[in-house]
Amino acid sequence: MAARSDAATDRVSLGSAPATAALTIAGWARIDSAGLGSFNPIIRLSVNSGDASSWIVGFKGTNGRTPSVYSPSNTSGIVAPEQALATWVYVAATLNAGAAQLLYGTVPGTLSKVTGTVAAAGTADRLAWFARSAADGSEWLAGALAYERIWTAVLSDVEIAAESQSATPVRVTNLWADWRFSSAGLTDSSGNGRNLTAGSTALSAETDPSLGGAVLSDALKRDKQMRLGALLQM
């Protein structure tokens, strides 16, 4: 099952963060209510000193439903089209020395992309899902997350498309953490031990997004990824 937040105190956090020199954050998100504000974070990387923002992936905009990547160095950030409420959307963001990409789509394996410059500020040393931080619930996501993963590498478009179709990581190289927000709860399924800390109230179980078929074996996933790569080179 995925996990749903319906209160600011549901936010979950980790007292460390990945290096931002090369980074990919990707997973399924759904926003159920944007009436709480224009900023609805999926994940916020922050710096402990002053709880300052470093890099944020979430929904913002006039109606609070626009997938976005932004930071103190670029508060406008890069944005995707506004999404409908109660709709699962795959949101993947990459960072490479300030160059950022935002991939998005509601159909597994079919993603669009926007690019720009959204450099991270400072050296992030903590993160929070569903809200600004463990100490700050002034902005929070009223919605659900599933299959959230972080890599300390910039994944290719083909790799990200493959990840959007799989309940388990396709690429394990440079995998920093894997939070499925399922029966594993807040456990990091990557084996790296980056288990999340719960908020003062618990997340609720939610039905997973449909990935368009049965979960593929590791061998079949690798074969599918290779075929996609070959097609793009034709």
Q: Report the C-alpha gap between 27 and 57 in whole angstroms.
A: 11
Structure confidence at residue 107 (pLDDT): 98
* Cα 76 to Cα 52, 61, 145, 171, 203, distances in angstroms: 17, 9, 24, 31, 30
Record the pTM.
0.89
**Consecutive 10-residue runs of the chain (234 residues): their mean pLDDT?**
93 97 98 86 94 97 95 97 97 97 98 98 97 94 97 98 98 98 88 97 95 50 46 40
Structure confidence at residue 233 (pLDDT): 44
Structure confidence at residue 189 (pLDDT): 96
Domain positions in the chain: 2-233
Q: Report the C-alpha gap between 121 and 54 in whole angstroms.
A: 4
Two tokens, residue 146: 């599933």
Fold entry, domain 2-233:
Jelly Rolls (2.60.120)
Structure confidence at residue 49 (pLDDT): 84
CB of 119 closer than 8 Å to CB of 79: no
